Amino acid sequence: MINRASVKLIQDLMSSRQDGCEDDQLLDTQSVIRRFRANLVIAGAEPFEEDNWSHLIIGNTRFMVAGQCGRCQMIGIDQDTGTKTKEPLFSLSAYRAGKVTFGVYLSHQSPESSTGANVLSAGSLIQAEPHKY
């Protein structure tokens, strides 16, 4: 799962790095999202807020945050053309001080008394539970 606000922040960093450079084309938001190949994209949270969540409820479906997604050079490959670029890995690595993670792994948690299928749909309410330290 990735967060649109985190995508926007990385996109802004890429844009500021590309001022004066003509090597890489500026990626639009949807292109950046495709590079990360997420199953779920949420909106409404602060950038990288998802790093501090222990659980997430989307609609009526509960997930445990199983950890952060480590990223490799694969995010630098345009999934449509196969073209390889330094971004967004370069900007992500610089922003995260070498910690190249983006997004989180989610694990579905079945309720004790399940009365049917859980359905995820666009526009569902999202409720995050932060880690308790």
CA angle, residues 42, 119, 29, in degrees to nearest 5: 25
Residue linked to tokens 């995820």: 120
Q: Ramachandran region of residue 106, left (φ > 0), alpha (ψ -120 to 50) or beta?
A: beta
125's CB contacts (< 8 A; 6+ apart) are 57, 58, 59
Angstrom distance (rounded) from CA 7 to CA 79: 17
Following DSSP, what letter does each residue of 44-107 receive, concatenated? Answer: SS-TTGGGGEEEEEETTEEEEEEEEEE--GGGGB-TTT--B-STTHHHHHHHTTT--EEEEEEE
Q: What is the pLDDT of residue 96?
A: 92
Whole-structure pTM over 0.85, yes or no? yes
Residue 16 amino acid letter: S
37-65 residue pLDDT tens: 999 999 989 999 999 999 999 988 999 99
60-118 residue pLDDT tens: 899 999 999 999 999 999 988 999 999 999 999 999 987 799 999 999 998 766 666 77
